[in-house]
Amino acid sequence: MIAYKNQDSNHYIHQGIIPYNHALAPLLIRNELFSHIPKDTQHIYVIGIGSNQINGDSLGPFVGTLLQHKFPNHLTVLGNLQYPLDATNLASEYAQLSLPPKSFVIAVDSVLGSKNIVQSILIKGGSMRPGEALGQQLPSIGDCSIMGVVLENNPHDKSHLFHTNLHLIYTMTTNIAKGISLAVRQFFNYPCTYPIDG
């Protein structure tokens, strides 16, 4: 869970900011990911960051659950609803991860953001710092970051994370998982009939 600010609301989609319920959200996510994945990538890792006990922080492990076992030869998922990667174990688990050459890591987490980007999906090149919004010191993770802005950043009240709308989380999760699946399917030349849904 990090805090993310964007001052300009006029550049949605074109700057990797996608409304969570946009009809073409999975395709837009795929397109954005394609601009970040190096051409010589041989394996993609998805790190689903968050808790399975807090609605607003469950986005990452929920995405991990939907993606696990999808593309076993080209996609490895760490962090899911059964085995979440949260503040208690993320640093130790990530430190033990040994990535082979030509791997690409996508970090997925929910974030708090400025009012104009709440309920958006953000995609950016580079790592994220999970736990930052809650004052936690965790390692930077990812070659690319996918962030679901679930709530407005309010430094005085973090309890609202427990009561985040599950429809929002579910819709964000399914769109992100589909977008990653579309990107993996196309990048590694799976047939277009290869299923992207569970």
Q: Please check whether residue 126 lies inside any domain of the structure.
A: yes
Q: Report which DSSP code applies to 13.
A: T
Residue with tokens 């399914």: 174
- Residue 96 placed within a domain: yes
For residue 124, the domain's CATH number is 3.40.50.1450
Amino acid found at 103: S
What is the average per-residue pLDDT within 59-66? 97
Residues, the chain, total?
Answer: 198
Closest CA to 195 of 183, 163, 182: 182
Do the strands 75-78 and 17-19 form a parallel or antiparallel pair, or are they unpaired?
unpaired
Nearest to 148 by CA among 45, 30, 38, 63: 63
- Confidence at 15, pLDDT banded by 50, 70, 90: low
- Tokens representing 171 are 């819709």
In a domain, 128, yes or no: yes
Model pLDDT, residue 129: 83
- Asked whether residue 41 is assigned to any structural domain, the reply reads yes
Asked if residue 194 belongs to a domain, the reply is no
**In this predicted structure, what is the pLDDT of residue 42?**
97
Does the pLDDT value for residue 121 go beyond 90?
yes
pLDDT digits (tens, 9 = 90+) for 177-198: 999 999 999 999 999 999 987 5
pLDDT (mean) for 108-113: 91
**pLDDT tens column, 16-45:** 899 999 999 999 999 999 999 999 999 999
SS3 content of the chain, % helix, strand, coil (to 5): 30, 25, 45
d(CA 150, CA 163): 11
Is 192 a domain residue? no
Q: What is the pLDDT of residues 133-152, one digit of tens each?
A: 556 677 889 999 999 999 88
Q: Is residue 74 in a domain? A: yes
Percent of the chain at pLDDT exceeding 90: 65
Domain count for the chain, please give it.
1
Specify the 3-state DSSP secondary structure of 97. coil
* Residues 3-12: tens digit of each pLDDT: 554 444 444 4
| Per-residue pLDDT at 13 exceeds 60 | no
Per the structure, the complete domain to which residue 18 belongs is given by: 8-187
67-109 pLDDT, tens digit per residue, is 999 999 999 999 999 999 988 898 888 888 889 999 999 999 9
Is residue 161 predicted with pLDDT exceeding 60? Answer: yes
pTM of the entire predicted model: 0.90
Is residue 73 one of the residues assigned to a domain?
Answer: yes
The residue-averaged pLDDT of 54-77 equals 95
Cβ neighbours of residue 81 closer than 8 Å, sequence gap 6 or more: 52, 58, 61, 62, 64, 65
